[in-house]
Amino acid sequence: MNRIAVLGATGSIGTSCLDVIAHHADRLQAVALSANGRWQDLAVQAQQFRPRWCIISNPELAGAVDRGAFPRETELLFGADGLEFVASHPDVDSVVCGIVGAAGLRSAWAATEAGKRVAIANKETLVVAGPLVMSLAARTGATLIPVDSEHSAVYQSLLAGRGEDVRRVILTASGGPFRGWSRERLKDVTVAQALAHPTWTMGRKITIDSATLMNKALELIEARWLFGLTREQLAVVVHPQSVIHSLVEYVDGSVVCQLSPPDMKLPIQYALSWPERWEGVSPRMNWQEAAKLEFFPPDTDAFPALELGFEVAGRGGTCGAVLNAANEVAVERFLAGSLSFLDIPAACRQILNAHTFEPQPTLTDLLRQDAWARQEMMQWKV
């Protein structure tokens, strides 16, 4: 039995993960589930999965939660400390990091420090602290397996050759709801338009990131650290069907890729089944139907966020923490109506340029820069 802590259980990744666990009840067991605010949803999940722990990470809810809604055998923990407690508990084998934003860093860190299998959806952890997390995993023997569909595809495609024979890793991008739009047309994008993703149903933050292509920028940085690549080894291609999840090009010119219908349950399951493969819960490719796989170069003029991703992947140091924090607040401001769509990458660029770069930051340095960038973005005016 693989005993799993699902952090961010009430989110898009979390609920897909619980579908996978329910489908493989003979091998997977949810022993801990977390939510931040939606404790009623968490209680419903707890009634089905009967976990040993439920964590409500917002400590202010301690007085408001109805204990009776949870199974009697489930212990309730409040606050972020509860996340670290379960992430490092000896009775937990695997931790699914499905929290959104840099808020997921501490628990991902605790799981890595404790040498767990870490199924990492929370890309922000790697964007903020990629080199530190990777060297921590190397020290503790933690197995870090990506859940992000592109990185899962790269992980699988890298099994076809030796690391030193990789020429390039090409991340695919759906292009989001505004693929083909000019910069001019993007000026008046509304929140509702940006939240309508053509191929994936996801949480609000990553959906906005997908519309600006900041998601792809974050994924470039994620890939850079996860796979030890250089900026020159990274590329992006727009592939509207979201069927090829990414590609690895080897020095001989062979390109190896992974295909499947867009559904996060597959990469989540792979992160839990690796190195095995199990019967899946996700839909399969239908080879009886005509299908088209298209590729286009990305439009870096309309989507300047992409260039930020390449730059930060190249520079490293404190850049990831600053870009990520600035973007998190920019997305909140866009959703709240106090920042326009095109301001998101523009403001991130300014704050990145203004920060005091440190090439070899500690975790404390990174958290300080994160706080600084959030403050800057809250005050940012056109």
Binding site for ligand NDP (CB under 6 A): 8-14, 35-38, 57, 98-100, 103, 121-124, 148, 200, 202-203, 206, 264
The region of 55-63, 147-155, 282-290, 301-309 touching Mg ion under the rule CB under 5 A is 147-155
Task: Spell out, one character per residue from 77 to 116, where the chain touches Mg ion: x when CB under 5 A holds, - when not.
Answer: ----------------------------------------
Q: Which does 13 bind (CB under 5 to 8 A by kind): Mg ion, ligand NDP, none?
A: ligand NDP
Q: At closest approach, how far in Å is the CB of 158 from ligand NDP?
A: 19
The region of 51-59, 146-154, 160-168, 276-284 touching Mg ion under the rule CB under 5 A is 146-154
Q: At closest approach, how far in Å is the CB of 105 from ligand NDP?
A: 10
Residue type, 203: G
Compute the 3-state secondary structure of the chain and give helix, strand, coil in percent, each to the nearest 5: 50, 15, 35
Q: Kindly tell me which of 171 and 264 has the beta carbon lying closer to ligand NDP.
A: 264
Q: At closest approach, how far in Å is the CB of 172 from ligand NDP?
A: 13
CA dist., res. 269 & res. 36, Å (int): 24
Q: Using the rule CB under 5 A, is 263 a contact of Mg ion?
A: no
Q: Using the rule CB under 5 A, is 148 a contact of Mg ion?
A: yes
Q: Kindly tell me which of 100 and 344 has the beta carbon lying closer to ligand NDP.
A: 100
Q: At closest approach, how far in Å is the CB of 149 from ligand NDP?
A: 6
Element (H, E) at 258: strand 255-259
Q: Kindly tell me which of 148 and 376 has the beta carbon lying closer to Mg ion.
A: 148
CA dist., res. 227 & res. 168, Å (int): 11
Instruction: Find, among 191, 189, 211, the residue nearest to 306 by Cα.
Output: 211
CA dist., res. 204 & res. 301, Å (int): 24
The region of 84-92, 140-148, 305-313, 363-371 touching Mg ion under the rule CB under 5 A is 140-148
Residue least distant from Mg ion (Cβ): 148
Q: Find tokens 């992006």 and name the residue.
A: 236
Q: Kindly tell me which of 149 and 327 has the beta carbon lying closer to Mg ion.
A: 149
Q: At closest approach, how far in Å is the CB of 150 from Mg ion?
A: 5
CB 272 within 8 A of CB 119: yes
CA dist., res. 76 & res. 323, Å (int): 35
User: Which tokens is 218 given?
Assistant: 């974050």
User: Which tokens is 288 given?
Assistant: 């009886």
Phi and psi torsions of 343, nearest 5° = -70, -25
Q: Which does 57 bind (CB under 5 to 8 A by kind): ligand NDP, Mg ion, none?
A: ligand NDP
Distance of CA 117 to the CA centre of its chain: 16
Q: Which does 262 bind (CB under 5 to 8 A by kind): Mg ion, ligand NDP, none?
A: none
Beta strands 244-250 and 255-259 are antiparallel
Q: Kindly tell me which of 37 and 177 has the beta carbon lying closer to ligand NDP.
A: 37
CA dist., res. 275 & res. 159, Å (int): 11
Instruction: Find, among 158, 160, 120, 157, the residue nearest to 137 by Cα.
Output: 120
Could you list the residues that contact Mg ion (CB under 5 A)? 148-150
